[in-house]
Amino acid sequence: MNILDFLSRDILYLDGGMGTLLQAEGLGAGELPERWNTTHAEVIKKIHRDYYDAGSNVVNTNTFGANRLKFSSEELEQIVRSAIDNARGAIAQSKGTQPKWIALDIGPTGRMLKPYGDFDFEDAVATFAETVRLGVKYGADLIFIETMSDSLETKAALLAAKENSDLPIFVSNAYGEDGKLMTGADPAAMVAMLEGMGADAIGVNCSLGPKALKSVVEEYLKYSSLPIILKPNAGLPKAVNGKTVYDVLPEEFAAEVSELIGRGVRIAGGCCGTTPEYIAKTVKASANVIPVKTEKKNITCVSSYTHAVVFGDSPILIGERINPTGKKRFKEALKSRDIDYILREGISQEEKGVHILDVNVGLPDIDEVEMLKTAVCELQAIIDLPLQIDTSDPMAMETALRRYNGKAMINSVSGKQESMEAIFPLAKKYGGLVVALTLDEKGIPETAEERVDIARRILAEAEKHGIDKKDIIFDPLALTISADKNAAKETLRAVGLIRTELGCHTSLGISNVSFGLPERDIINGAFFDLALGQGLSAAIMNPYSQEMMKTYYSYRALSGLDDNCTEYIGFASELPKESVSVAAEKPKEASSNEGHASELQGAIIKGLKDQAANLTAELIKNIEPLSIVQTDIIPALDVVGVGFENKRVYLPQLLMSAEAAKAAFEVIKANMPGGGAADKCSFVIATVKGDIHDIGKNIVKLILENYGFSVTDLGRDVSPDTIVEEVVRSHAPVVGLSALMTTTVPAMEETIKQLRKAAPWCRVVVGGAVLNQEYADAIGADKYAKDAMETVRYAEQVRNEA
């Protein structure tokens, strides 16, 4: 019988714990349990048989950690083969009459994925893939991914299972007391991602007892349209008189699990500390519970690695600022791979209150595939908002979706056949909410009705690809009213028709409507308001626009979405009062030039970032940018730098001043023709291979930039060839290498060796916690620098020699 058919009618019972039983049989501390499949086959077979006898429909093979990180490929194959044989043998011997299946068990790799660990996503996929292929080869009936505590690793495992088998896939995550995965995802986020990718059943196991997991299970039942798995621990282990006991006993466990079966759980078993007795009692206790039908939920949502954003009554704001179109500074940042610039743009939109960030990094002369992947990964390292991936290149789209941690918004597909054929398969494979533009080969139709027709065709085509209506959001296209006075009217009608006739959500790029008009914000805010009235669900917008934010907060307050108008009041209280600040600062401007100079110096020395930027902006109206640098910024930096060298200024203060100086430089850069990119001395900096510490490196980079070096930051965990390649390319006269661990110093030595060969002109300065002069000499560096200032002094010396 097909397990999914069985599941559609019955409760499917799983097995219980394996590790605790193996320890009772003599598995030693530090011994790998998977090896017992071959060395103690009878023990494993007996445990499986006891579970089948207790009523389990499915047992998981003893392959939790069976992967290439722990075993050679020959041994891995032996282990998986015997693991499945053991389960098959147990079926043959079991007296149970229930239908029985064998699940290939897959646990986490035990390695943390990048960016917080060093394990690459594709390496994780390849690791899982090898085990999956063996499971398929030796006849597993399904794949059971379990105890995953990181969303991205869960995705890697599910992707590997999908790409290497046609078997049903169950995915189960381990939640902490706080109801989240170790890396932060809540149940709604996991449901969004796993359903989107096509898991067959999802749920929770391990970490806690059934009662403690109840609230997590309820979240799964609320959001998911798939059968839900519950496989809890027998509570927590406690030492009683020198013996280990779990604090939830079989009767209590069975009663609690049965209660949750009554609420809708369809797949039940046990994890750590549970035994065949727990399963037998659970089967018995729930024998008369009528299985609850799994309902389709029709929730339109996207997710990040922490939470889901659901489209409904409250408007969703999608920040549009990560996009180079029409932005000189952004283009420059992209060309110089200044990722921090993109990150700051993301963070400040987040602070303005957007729910999703649009990410577009397309420029004619950059490698968009690589850049988009980098931008998505880096943004997801530090910002927990879901992303809308915005590209017209299907290859860039696929690369970004593959790495995306969650369920992304896909921007966009259109009614053109070619577009649908390129995008829908990606949405099907990786999951995602697809933004569909109502245009086709003939262009954008004039009337609302024609746009709705295209929307209908898009829905029909999506269905052919197995994509549900809830995963399409339409953009009926805001056109410019200065070109056609009826443009906005038709778009607004289309929003209403799509909502009422098709029952779909809509999104609009608001600002197009006002193109060519003065004070565009006024029109944008009003158009947003009218569109919301028609049932618009989301807007791609500029969160720095006060008119847009006014509309957003007042709409929520007027629609009963803002309890006690709290958010509106908060927003209103932060609105700037009629340019008071400008007026207050006026008198200062009247003072003499020297006064200005010392004031800016003072701001930098005290580390006042905003003040330094404002003062520079004032000064630049009357004074040459370069002279501000010479008479104010550099002297101020010197005061602090010398203070630090003389131990009168501490590191945090040095950094605060450096940040203030950087803020001043940003203003100057924006006011210089050509962005101030004078021919500066270049400096390449990196944390070496195997090392993921970068705080020291970042400090050195900041200070160097302030002292007029053009710093190329290659990041952390950088291989020797990448460093050599960049030094050769830029012909940099000096490179800085950082290592914090004794184990990564050899990588530093190797990098220096390769640099000597390929770039003999280049001086190497090294730093980091484990290094000292002696060590630096031993690995052949030119200079050991104990801190950022010493690096600056050395770099200046190299620059002066050149």
Lay out the sheet containing 12-13: strands in order across.
12-13, 267-268, 228-231, 201-205, 169-173, 142-148, 101-106, 58-60
Closer residue to other proteins (CB): 478 or 688: 688
Of 163, 251, 340, 777, the residue at the interface with other proteins (CB under 8 A) is 340
Cβ 624 to other proteins shortest distance, Å: 29
List the interface residues with other proteins, window 579-618 (CB under 8 A). Answer: 606-607
Residue 431's SS3 state is coil
User: Which segments within 70-113 are labelled E, that is strand?
Assistant: 101-106
Cis, bond preceding 108 (omega within 30 deg of 0)? no
Of 55, 108, 250, 386, the residue at the interface with other proteins (CB under 8 A) is 108
Half-sphere exposure in the Cβ direction for 562 (13 Å, CA): 16
Closer residue to other proteins (CB): 461 or 713: 713
Minimal CA–CA distance to 535: which of 571, 493, 592?
493
End-to-end Cα distance, the chain: 78
Closer residue to other proteins (CB): 178 or 519: 178
Q: Kindly compute the dihedral angle of the four CA atoms of residues 608, 614, 618, 623, in this order, to the nearest 10 degrees.
A: 60
Of 46, 68, 81, 111, the residue at the interface with other proteins (CB under 8 A) is 111
Closer residue to other proteins (CB): 330 or 474: 330
761 binds other proteins (CB under 8 A): no
Of 147, 349, 360, 631, the residue at the interface with other proteins (CB under 8 A) is 147
173 binds other proteins (CB under 8 A): no
Closer residue to other proteins (CB): 152 or 435: 152
Cβ 376 to other proteins shortest distance, Å: 15
Cα separation of 35 and 78, whole Å? 9
Of 42, 166, 177, 365, the residue at the interface with other proteins (CB under 8 A) is 177
Give 238-264 as a DSSP string: EEETTEEEESS-HHHHHHHHHHHHHHT
DSSP-derived letter for residue 199 is -
Neighbours of 122 (CB within 10 A): 13
249 binds other proteins (CB under 8 A): no
Of 2, 73, 93, 116, the residue at the interface with other proteins (CB under 8 A) is 116
Cβ 113 to other proteins shortest distance, Å: 9
523's tokens: 């029109």
Cα separation of 277 and 16, whole Å? 9
Cβ 693 to other proteins shortest distance, Å: 8
Site string for other proteins, 713-742 (x = CB under 8 A): ----------------------------xx
Quick one: 125 exposed, middle or buried, by C-beta within 10 A (0-12, 13-18, 19+)? buried
659 binds other proteins (CB under 8 A): yes
Q: Which stretch binds other proteins (CB under 8 A): 124-132, 307-315, 475-483, 655-663?
A: 655-663
691 binds other proteins (CB under 8 A): yes
Closer residue to other proteins (CB): 467 or 700: 700
DSSP-derived letter for residue 510 is G
Report whether 161 contacts 414 (CB < 8 A): no
Site string for other proteins, 197-216 (x = CB under 8 A): ---------x----------
443 binds other proteins (CB under 8 A): no
Q: In 224-338, where does DSSP find H-type helix? A: 250-263, 276-285, 328-335
Closer residue to other proteins (CB): 397 or 779: 779
Cα separation of 320 and 337, whole Å? 20
Closer residue to other proteins (CB): 24 or 395: 24
Q: Which stretch binds other proteins (CB under 8 A): 230-238, 424-432, 503-511, 575-583?
A: 230-238
Cβ 268 to other proteins shortest distance, Å: 21
Of 690, 720, 736, 768, the residue at the interface with other proteins (CB under 8 A) is 690
List the interface residues with other proteins, window 16-35 (CB under 8 A). Answer: 23, 28-32
Closer residue to other proteins (CB): 109 or 411: 109
Cβ 694 to other proteins shortest distance, Å: 7
Cβ 700 to other proteins shortest distance, Å: 10
Report whether 340 contacts 375 (CB < 8 A): no
Sequence-separated (6 or more) residues with CB below 8 Å from residue 145: 106, 154, 157, 158, 161, 169, 170, 171, 172
Closer residue to other proteins (CB): 119 or 709: 119
Of 500, 743, 773, 797, the residue at the interface with other proteins (CB under 8 A) is 743
Give 726-775 as a DSSP string: HHHHHT-SEEEEE--SGGGHHHHHHHHHHHHHH-TT-EEEEE-TT--HHH
Report whether 755 contacts 723 (CB < 8 A): yes
139 binds other proteins (CB under 8 A): no
Q: Which stretch binds other proteins (CB under 8 A): 109-117, 463-471, 629-637, 790-798?
A: 109-117
Using CB under 8 A as the binding criterion, the count of chain residues that bind other proteins stands at 62
List the interface residues with other proteins, window 368-407 (CB under 8 A). Answer: 381-383
CA 607 to chain CA mean position, Å: 32
H/E stretch holding 641: helix 634-645
Cα separation of 538 and 476, whole Å? 12
Of 249, 672, 702, 728, the residue at the interface with other proteins (CB under 8 A) is 702
Q: Which residues contact other proteins by CB under 8 A?
A: 23, 28-32, 107-108, 110-112, 115-119, 147, 149, 174, 176-178, 182-184, 206, 236-239, 244, 339-340, 343-344, 347, 381-383, 606-607, 650-653, 655-656, 658-659, 690-695, 698-699, 702, 741-744
